[in-house]
Amino acid sequence: MKIKHIESFIVRAPIDSNKVYWGAGYWMADPNQHPGLPDGHPGDITTEYPPIWRLRPIYTRDLSCVVVRIETDTGLVGWGEAHTPVAPEASKAVIDALLAAIVLGRDPFDIQPIWENMYSSMRMRGHSTGFLLEAISGVDIALWDLAGRALGVPISTLLGGRMRDRIPVYASSLPRVHARSGEAGYQGLVSLARSLVDQGYRAFKVKLGIDIEQDRHSLRVLRQAVGPDVRIAVDVNGAYDLAQARLAGRMMEEEGAYWLEEPLLPENLRGYADLAASLQIRVVAGECLFNRWQFNDYFVAGAVDAINPDVGRAGGISECKRISDLADTYGIPFSPHVSIGSAIYMAASLQWAAAGSNLNMCEWPMDASAIGNGILKQPFQFEGGAIRLDETPGLGIDIDEDKLRRWQVGATA
């Protein structure tokens, strides 16, 4: 069996008619403006420390990703996805211009050698993070899907067998409440949290990270609303320096938060190590780390208590399984990071989660999306705060290709 054809295409779907992605609503100065860093925004040159514009990401107003479709000479098809919250054109170009030639003609079961060939193509140029790894992730997931379908088993079986059929998930994510939104803002937060618990979630994540006392108030109203047994994880996306992170971490310990995610900027390995040593609350990082070596540096330094690698970013199922196994060697659990993407990406996260011995829980987008259940013949089976997996081969989903192609950029009708 040989790989005969590899296709990549961009998918863009609306989030909802009147919503913006929670991350975008959080960071963009004006969510109604076009994606990107608004020009002349007063926050650009600031006297605040740390300066927020040094980590203000680009967002778009829709959901985008790059879907990879690999077909063998026997007519088997595998689906993969590269995580591309912005500029999917870049990752598509990587797949088409660089990776396709490496993959074509190969035995699709050569997943490991193909991964090494893709990685080595730019290794001496230091492309161990970023677009290359995201593109590799998409190809790798498609190869695993192919292998599973070829043998009639789910990917989790090929990864050494399932540890569990139910994957505990946490809802992601409640937006940060601005002080200026007043009591109404907190009420909105409370009703969102209650609706999650009513749906069956036993854990959710909230975005915090500007003012410590304001954040304390958010945690208190949330705890009051959901009771003592629901996990409230906190994500601040690198908003602090070390001293602030210590203070904020102590506050979160007092308020019973479950973990503190990305307290510092990703380059600050030493800061992470100092923080993890001084805080009791779990220090979590990993959504912007790539490859086993980056994670290993964090483990050796004692910089994290838990990790959340992204299967569409860190190197696909192959690399993420290696990373979570490596984490287990250090006694560290993992929680797949799942943000903007389609059902392919969500399913790949679940298959990996099912096979990892040290799974904590899996992130799960709390909003329905046109490219989530919307592209599946059977929706994900959510029950009691977990997703139940059945024996469907490969990624474990049945993709309705017509529905998926509806969102393909540049598709001919």
Angle between helix 111-120 and 131-151 (nearest 10): 170
CB of 20 to other proteins, least distance (A): 17
Closest to other proteins by CB, 28 or 143: 28
Q: Which is nearer to other proteins, 76 or 275 (CB)?
A: 275
Q: Closer CB to other proteins, residue 120 or residue 181?
A: 120
Task: In angstroms, give the least distance from the CB of 113 to other proteins.
Answer: 7
List of residues contacting other proteins (CB under 8 A): 34-37, 39-40, 44-45, 51, 53-58, 85-87, 89-90, 93-94, 97-98, 113, 116-117, 119-133, 237-238, 262, 265-269, 287-291, 293-294, 297, 300, 313
Tokens found for residue 225:
């609303």
CB 144, min distance to other proteins, A: 20
**H-helix or E-strand spanning residue 173:** strand 166-174
Token output for 86: 């912005």
Q: How far apart are CA 307 and CA 359, in angstroms?
A: 10
Shortest distance (Å) from residue 245 CB to other proteins? 15
Grouping H, G, I as helix, E, B as strand and the rest as coil, residue 132 is helix
**Strand, coil or helix: what is 202?**
coil
Provide the minimum distance between the beta carbon of 381 and other proteins in the complex, in angstroms, as a whole number.
30
- The gap from C-alpha 24 to its chain's centroid, in whole angstroms, comes to 15
Find the DSSP H helices in 121-177: 131-151, 155-158
The C-alpha atoms of residue 274 and residue 412 are separated, in whole angstroms, by 54
Distances (CA, A) of 300 to 245, 260, 278, 318, 327: 21, 20, 17, 22, 10
State how far the Cα of 137 lies from the Cα of 291, in Å rounded to an integer.
11
Indicate the residue among 109 and 119 with the shorter CB distance to other proteins: 119
Burial 326-350 (b: 16+ CB within 10 A, else e): bbeeeebbbbbbbbbbbbbbbbbbb
Residue with Cβ nearer other proteins (39 or 390)? 39
| Residue whose CB is less far from other proteins, 254 or 267 | 267
Q: In the complex with other proteins, which residue's Cβ is closer, 91 or 369?
A: 91
* Min CB(404)–other proteins separation in Å: 22
Closest CB 349 distance from other proteins, rounded Å:
17
The distance of closest approach from Cβ of residue 85 to other proteins in the complex, given in angstroms and rounded to an integer, is: 7
Measure the CA–CA gap between 143 and 405, rounded to whole angstroms.
20
Q: Which is nearer to other proteins, 41 or 166 (CB)?
A: 41
H/E element, 305? none
